[in-house]
A and B are shown apart, each in its own frame.
Chain A
Amino acid sequence: MKRFIGFIKKEFYHIFRDRRSLFILFGMPIAQIMLFGFAITNEINNVDIAILDHSKDATTEEIINKISASKYFSIHQFMDREADVETIFKKGKVKAVLNFEKDFSKKLIRDHKATIQIITDATDPNTANTISNYVNAILIQYQKDWNKDITIAYQIIPRTRMVYNPELKSVYMFVPGVMTIILMLVSAMMTSISITKEKELGTMEILLVSPIKPIQVIVGKVFPYIFLSVINAIVIVVLSIFIFKMPVQGSLFLLAMESILFIISALALGILISTISATQQTAMMISLMGLMLPVILLSGFIFPISSMPLPLQMISNIIPAKWFIIIIKGIMLKGVGLQYLWKETLILVGMTIFFIALSVKKYKIRLE
């Protein structure tokens, strides 16, 4: 035991002597969460649009004013010719062009009907679709105002309640994701590199011939990183509560325990990576190239998993980050406890055991 503590001390020395890495280790997650918490959002605000008004009468002016007054749009330019639409889209200056037909007012009064084309640059389908929806919403409101004297008989009036995030803040969606990504990549990457480094330098052999048991070597290597990751997790949670006003509806203690569980499973994955790579370079490339995109894309961090094709939904089940994101959102936003999250928790425990068992197996084979 004494030997083991000595060994852990050595690991701490390694980490704390390397000031630059230490700075990166703590500075980066803070910088990233601050940056992303503020900057990453898929809300649509101030989209640049252009107006192609063939009528230029009172009604079109009124509609244009309503649109320009909305926070969603800012009118970048007025154009005269339909042929120019192609050009400005190609330059990427505006995302949409509203094309008002000729004699707009006249038609509206005479035929009770007039048409606006919403031409969107649908290379980004999400933005295009949202723009189209928002323009429609503004126009529906406009019609309601115009028609308010006409009572419409028989109506079902929806009373919509947005639960867990009534203001539809995208911070609530992204902060848990960013936290997960940082913990996952930092933990997995750090362990895999530090273990392969000892292999590469040949110091692993020295450790293995020492009376310390192999399992102690691994635990000793990993222990300081658990410590560091926990500190990272605390910093991230504190930042999300005080800067991004994330609520913690559920138990803070449970959140802490689940975070430690997730950190351990990421570290276990790191160990597994180190058993299959011979050089630091390979370990890094596996943890960076192999983990970064799948974790970003398949964890539900940005894209809703339920909209993905079925095979991908199935693949997403093997991403530990997916389960952790469900857990954090559950605890922080929904305020639920273990009785709702036992399934996710068990899955993470199971994955951790699997990673460790597989590493131990690979490790033994290598020694024989």
Chain B
Amino acid sequence: MKTILYIIQKEFKQIFRNKGMLPIIFVLPLLQLVILSNAATFEVKNIKFGYIDKDHSSTSRALVEKFNASTYFNVLTDFPSEAIASAEMLKGEIDVLLQIPQYFERDLQIEKYANLGITINAIDGAAAGVENVYVNQIIQRFNQNIKMDVLQVSDKQVQPIAVETIPLFWYNKTLNYKTFMVPGILVLLVTMITLFLSGMNIVREKEIGTLEQINVTPIKKSQFIIGKLFPFWVIGMGLLTIGLILAKVIFDVPMLGSLTLLYFYTSIYILVILGIGLFISNFTDTQQQAMFIAWFFTVIFILMSGLFTPIESMPKWAQTLTEFNPIRYFVEVMRMVMLKGSGFNDILPQLLKTALYAFVMNGLAVWSYKKTT
């Protein structure tokens, strides 16, 4: 036990003495949490919108006015010709283009219907879908108004049926993205810091030769490993704490569930990451190799964690792969506990899988750490 304390003491000294690293470990992640959480939003707003009005009638102007009034659409530009408009779209200056044909008003009055051209830049398919919905909502409402204005009251006709829907957004009534993203990004930062530091740590001692000096001492493998990893465990928990405080103070993210439960889960989760880091460290000869591997897994873990894009949308085989992604569980647990107030029983599956993962990874790490060659 005393031996472990000596190692822990040494590691902390080395960490705090490395002036170049301190800001990277403590300031950079928190700064990113505060700034980048604002960037992660799928909301579609400030849509770059343009139109070509060949009709110049009161109806066409009224329609454009509707778009103007909407909060989703931004910067209305009137283009004189299709050619100019499509060049602007190629340049990326507009994303939605409304083409009002000649005789728009006349057609509407005589034929009782009129066509309207809409062109949407669909490279971002999801955003294009949403933009389409917004456009259609405005036109739909406009249609109803024509009925009112032109026909006066249409009640004499057979009344159409209407299935009304009432959307209820639980846990996040205002559909605030930050509430959703801040816990997830915090997970990433805690994970990245602990993984990179632990992954580099032992291979670094290998590279500078001090590991050999340790290996000729009678220290036990487990003592050495626990001593080495404990400081990073503390750093991880510390980051989580500061991150949670920032989440509350700056973003007002709710904390519905039990804080104890969250810490309990995190304390196990960090063990998984440290185990992975150590395992990578044991199988590489240089820090460069260790970092490439750590980077490879981090990118995969991040993008397949359900943090930015939903897991349910992935193909089945990919969903199966995410079962091996520890970040996925942590993201789920964070969101469940903080935003929904899920309790111990609710997160039990995630907890058990994480615990099993921790057990396996640390087992592998201790097993693969060899004092002899």
Contact = CB atoms under 8 A, between A and B. Distances in A.
A–B interface present (Cβ within 8 A): yes
Interface of A: 18, 20-21, 24-25, 28, 31-32, 35-36, 38-48, 63, 89-92, 95, 108-109, 112-129, 132-133, 135-136, 139, 142-143, 146-147, 149-150, 152-170, 172-173, 181, 185, 189, 193-194, 197, 277-282, 284-286, 288-290, 292-294, 296-298, 302-304, 306-309, 312, 315-316, 326, 329-330, 333-334, 336, 340
Which 6 A-B pairs have CB atoms at the shortest separation, nearest pair first?
Answer: A168-B125, A39-B318, A122-B169, A125-B175, A162-B122, A122-B172
Contact of B123 (A109, A113, A126, A164): A164
A304 B124 contact: yes
A136 B163 CA distance: 9
Given A159-B115, A163-B120, A280-B288, A146 B161 contact: yes
B161 A108 contact: yes
A340 B310 contact: no
B287 A24 contact: no
A136 B165 contact: yes
A351 B185 CA distance: 28
B196 A159 contact: no
Contacts of B91: 336, 340
Interface stretch (B76-84, B145-153, B211-219, B270-278): B145-153
A24 B171 contact: no
Interface of B: 18, 20-21, 24-25, 28-29, 32, 35-36, 38-48, 63, 74, 87, 89-92, 95, 108, 112-130, 132-133, 135-136, 139, 142-143, 146-147, 150-151, 154, 157-173, 175-177, 179-180, 185, 188-189, 192-193, 196, 200, 204, 284-289, 291-296, 298-300, 302-304, 308-310, 312-315, 318, 321, 332, 335-336, 339-343, 346
Contacts of B157: 150
A326 B246 CA distance: 33
A293 B287 contact: no
Nearest to A341: B91
Nearest to A337: B90
Contacts, number: 376
A150 B90 contact: no
16 contacts: A24-B292, A39-B318, A40-B309, A41-B309, A44-B310, A95-B312, A122-B172, A126-B177, A128-B169, A154-B113, A159-B118, A164-B123, A292-B298, A296-B302, A304-B124, A306-B45
Contact of A122 (B159, B165, B170, B193): B170
A199 B172 CA distance: 51
A288 B123 CA distance: 28
B123 A307 contact: no
Contact of A326 (B92, B293, B321): B92
A289 B191 CA distance: 11
A296 B305 CA distance: 14
B180 A158 contact: no
Contacts of A135: 165
A115 B164 CA distance: 5
B20 A306 contact: no
Contacts of B45: 306-307
Contact of A168 (B129, B162, B341): B129
